[in-house]
Amino acid sequence: MTRPHPHTATVVLVALVAGCSSGSGSHTAAPTASAPAATVSAAPTSAAPRAEPSAVPQSAVAAESNPPGDIPDNLAFIPYSNTAGRYRFTHPEGWAEKTQGSTAAFTDKLNGVQAATGTATTAPTVATAKQQDVPELARSQAAFELRTITDVSMPAGRGVRIVYRRNSAPDAVTGRQYRDEVERYELVSHGREVIVELFGPVGADNVDAYKTMINSLKIQ
């Protein structure tokens, strides 16, 4: 199966901001997100909302000094299960859902999470991520800026965490763009991979919400 974005593209739920409804060999592309609106790719070549092709590449927009994207601490989290992708996790209650097969996205204003299945059967490493994911992200994400890549071991499995910045897709009404920060997790368990991207404006305080979502991820 071709992977949602950079390796050929999973879940990460949770790097990082709609509709309704819900639907793995070598390491290829994985999911990639883009706020404020969730855009779920038809094929597993992009796991999180992506920047519009016309906007790739472009100059980085300025980060907000007082970003409007904090996820409230009192939000309730509810369970979600994707039968096609064989994974589950929790997300903030009330976020708009858009699901297509094994790819699922939940967004609210400038924040979001997108998950999708990838193609890796063994856990990716910092080295493989630099060779395969980073170049693909640089091609597909508007004004891509790599921040960090680290090896991780999460409840759902082992893999990598890639933190990067990009310009959000233009607002449908105002055309305004925000500078997003994305936390991308590529995790493998029992020979199956899920890629999750958690995203919101640079500077937004979403640490606790991201931890809740990514730690709740289970690869079935």
Q: Say what the pLDDT of residue 57 is.
A: 64
Q: Residue range 46-64: average pLDDT?
A: 63
Report whether pLDDT(137) > 90.
yes
CA-nearest of 188, 186, 125 to 157 is 188
Q: Residue range 15-35: average pLDDT?
A: 41
The pLDDT confidence band at residue 58, using thresholds 50, 70 and 90, is: confident
Q: Say what the pLDDT of residue 31 is.
A: 54
The pLDDT confidence band at residue 56, using thresholds 50, 70 and 90, is: low
The average confidence (pLDDT) of the chain is 81
Longest CA–CA span in the chain (Å) reads 45
- The larger pLDDT score, comparing residue 1 to residue 80, is at 80
Residues 6+ apart with CB under 8 A from 157: 123, 187, 188, 189, 190, 194, 219
Q: Percent of the chain beyond pLDDT 70?
A: 73
Distance, in Å, from the CA atom of 49 to the CA atom of 26, rounded to the nearest integer, reads 23
CA-nearest of 183, 202, 124 to 158 is 124
Report whether pLDDT(99) > 60.
yes
Q: Say what the pLDDT of residue 95 is.
A: 97
| Assigned token pair, 210 | 């991201």
Cβ burial 145-170 (10 Å sphere, 16+ → b, else e): beeebeeeebebbbbbbbbbbbbbbb
Report whether pLDDT(15) > 90.
no
Domains, the chain: 1-59+81-220 (3.40.1000.10)
The pLDDT confidence band at residue 53, using thresholds 50, 70 and 90, is: very low
What's 182-210 look like in SS3?
EEEEEEEECCEEEEEEEEEECCCCCHHHH
Q: Other CB atoms closer than 10 Å to residue 20's CB: what's the count?
A: 8
Q: CB-based burial of residue 53 (10 Å sphere; 0-12 exposed, 13-18 middle, 19+ buried)? A: exposed
Q: Residue range 98-113: average pLDDT?
A: 96
Q: Are 5 and 209 in contact (CB under 8 A)?
A: no
Q: Residue range 178-199: average pLDDT?
A: 97
Q: What string of DSSP letters covers 93-139?
A: TT-EEEEETTEEEEEETTEEEEEEE---SS---HHHIIIIIHHHHHH
Report whether pLDDT(30) > 90.
no
Q: Say what the pLDDT of residue 164 is.
A: 98
Q: Say what the pLDDT of residue 35 is.
A: 44
